[in-house]
Amino acid sequence: MKKKEIALLWDEDTAFKRYLVDMGFNCEVVTQMVLVAPFFSLTGYKLLIVPAGFGNESYSKILVGLRAKSELIKDFVEAGGTLFIFGALSNKDVYNWLPVKLKYVMEERRVRILVVKKHKAAMIVEKEECMCDGYFTEVGEECEIFLKEKGGKAILALAEYGAGAIIATTIHEYPSRGFIEYCVGRR
């Protein structure tokens, strides 16, 4: 049996899971029903991914589970796990389940990437332009911005939290192999 690596928090199996598995990662989809079950544990996972659209009920119902299990997720990160969150696709306050402050504005567009500070998280995409579904207007003081669009809007923030990290992005593309390797500790 393969060791657990990635939990993809979503309502059903997705093409995103296939993308990760095809790159050689062990990825399991964790639905809201499983996430909120009393027996569920994040033990053994290295990376939790919350895909784009988690805050928009037209795409997903996982937000209810994220809010209900925010303490479990916080404990996972404090113990050394990595939480990777994409854009919410909603202008409502849907990042309020996180232990760090994030405010987001939905605005889909193609952007040129500006690396603000070198970090392995900044290799999320391996090109100079990408699609974004918004930007962060506020990040907590515990967060550091590593990527902005050329216009100055924040598109990737990272907060070291306990022994782990919370990485939030508005980039609306699959992350690079190197980025996922960094997140699961292979690099």
- Domains annotated on the chain, with CATH: 6-184 (3.40.50.880)
**pLDDT tens string for the chain (187 positions)?**
457 899 999 999 999 999 999 999 999 999 999 999 999 999 999 999 999 999 999 889 999 999 999 999 999 999 999 999 999 999 999 999 999 999 999 999 999 999 999 999 999 999 999 999 999 999 999 999 999 999 999 999 999 999 999 999 999 999 999 999 999 986 5
| Alpha-carbon 127 to chain mean position | 19
pLDDT score recorded for residue 187: 57
* E strand segments, the chain: 6-9, 27-30, 47-50, 82-85, 102-115, 129-139, 143-149, 154-161, 164-169
Strands 82-85 vs 164-169: parallel, antiparallel or unpaired: parallel
Report how far residue 165's alpha carbon sits from residue 106's, in angstroms, rounded to the nearest whole number. 24
SS3 182: helix
C-alpha angle with apex 176: 175 to 178, nearest 5 degrees? 130
